[in-house]
Chain A
Amino acid sequence: MARAARAYIAGIYEHPTRKAVDKTVPMLHAEVARGALADAGLSKDDVDGFFSDSSLPGLGGLGMAEYLGLNLKYTDTTETGGSSYLVHLGHAADAIAAGKCNVGLITLAGRPRAEGMQQLKSGTASGGQPPEWGFEHPYRPMVANLYAMAAMRHMYEYGTTSEQLAWIKVAASHHAHHNQHAMLRDIVTVEDVVNSPMIADPLHRLDCCVISDGGGALVVVSPEIAKSLGDRSVKLLGQGVGIKHLNGGRFDLTYTGAAISGPIAFNEANVVPTDIDYASIYDSFTITVLETLEDLGFCEKGKGGAFVSDGNLISGVGRLPFNTDGGGLCNNHPANRGGMTKVIEAVRQLRGEAHPAVQVPDCTLALAHGTGGGIAQRTGAATVILGSNDA
């Protein structure tokens, strides 16, 4: 019996650029919007809901609505960092189910590489310094050394090793090898990862994702519109959000917000982790993937190291094919926000449109997970469960 869905993803588009020297951020938004609408078989004039993050040029969604020529009944610019687009998916589905709009467009675009970003600083937000700033900034937290502290504690508590973390990068590299747009297409070994330069103990250079420009877009539609568009639309079966922070100074870095968002999404979809054929897992660093897999219930807490080893995440080899586009570790990480591309590759898998070398046979149920902010400070997690058109 076919599963019910309150909304469908009808269109996807991933920008092919990795360094956008000759484009502005609004141009990138327009190009991904155009691409996703063409993929869906819809036009700009069908869009009545617009969703993006707080880095959008202009006041909320207003400036881009004008620039893109959208006539809107609904807009939402909720910000949870790189997971924002998975949050937007839930908000778009809610708005559609409530009759507030029928066609939601979600976009992401940015060009940190062209703008010459050398190192990512944590917590640099607009709108004044947040209250924790004075108690963190003087000690020079960077993104890498914060994630590294999560890895260090996980290793201490569970005996996780650098070699186990390296398997995550190895799997991503096997997939990126088949992606002509991927920044890093060479297959790497566990030895390559652990012998790459140490960035912030215990994370090596190859434990870290790439920095890239680009973007992507999703078109979310009502079940009625999805039906009119044929059978390429993908069902949104479940979605969950979880916010985790330092809790007044009492916290545990060995788990992430996925422990909150995952059960909500699985419960709504009425599926369990062993039902999932393919998973897109946010991979800012290898440790992000390892903790997330545990938190989502793909393995026991503390057993992530064993779970990811020996190619278990490689399509055609292991039990849980992940990030078959090469992910943030090898393919791209547009605007330092990896959630959008996680959804896009999951949709490709469910349509059977992933690269043949990495396509999961009979892919019916997929999961995509986004991690925003940082897992060693304040983090916004979002999980979506997607089903193929006939799921």
Chain B
Amino acid sequence: MSKHTYPDPDISVETEAYWQAANDGKLLVKKCDACGKTHFYPRSICPCCFSNETSWMEASGKGHVYSYSVMRRAKQPYAIAYVRLEEDVTMLTNLVEADLDELRVEMPVEVTFRKSESGQALPVFRPLKD
């Protein structure tokens, strides 16, 4: 795998716990204490029921590829994907440590991390090994 630079995310008071956890190798999602539903990206008020009682929970880090595309026109082709987590939310991400021609919809994947330009850990996904 060749080196690729990931742009920095912008981090706010609303999302800093997510990014701090990523630096510790954990993937967090938000869960609503009122309706019990998870959501992504994380918000302080639940987009499902509008309750302001939401909590962080650690995701298993496992999921399936809902869809993906390999950007062939980039200098270094890369795979963008929507990964559906076991926690029933789907997030935008990149697929790494994979042959770009072997990717498929619904393949099982697990979280790993890459550093952004300034060193912030970003959740990305790789094929789940048996």
Contact = CB atoms under 8 A, between A and B. Distances in A.
11 contacts: A134-B9, A134-B11, A134-B12, A139-B6, A140-B74, A145-B69, A249-B40, A249-B88, A249-B90, A250-B90, A251-B90
A131 B43 contact: yes
Interface in B69-118: 69-74, 78, 80-82, 88-94, 105-106, 116
**Residue from B7, B66, B80, B116 with most neighbouring chain A CB atoms (10 Å):** B80
Contacts of B53: none
Given A135-B41, A138-B9, A149-B69, 7 more contacts: A129-B10, A134-B11, A138-B7, A139-B124, A146-B80, A149-B81, A376-B82
Give the bracket for the number of chain B residues in contact with chain A.
35 or more
B33 interface: no
Contact of A153 (B15, B67, B92): B67
A156 B74 CA distance: 24
B34 interface: no
A248 B40 contact: yes
Contacts of A229: none
B39 interface: yes
Given A138-B8, A140-B7, A131 B93 contact: no
Contacts, number: 115
A70 interface: no
Given A152-B67, A153-B105, A250 B89 contact: yes
Nearest to B72: A198
A138 B116 contact: yes
Contacts of B15: 134-135
A305 B19 CA distance: 42
Interface string B112-129: 000010000010100000
Interface in B19-64: 19, 37-41, 43, 47-48
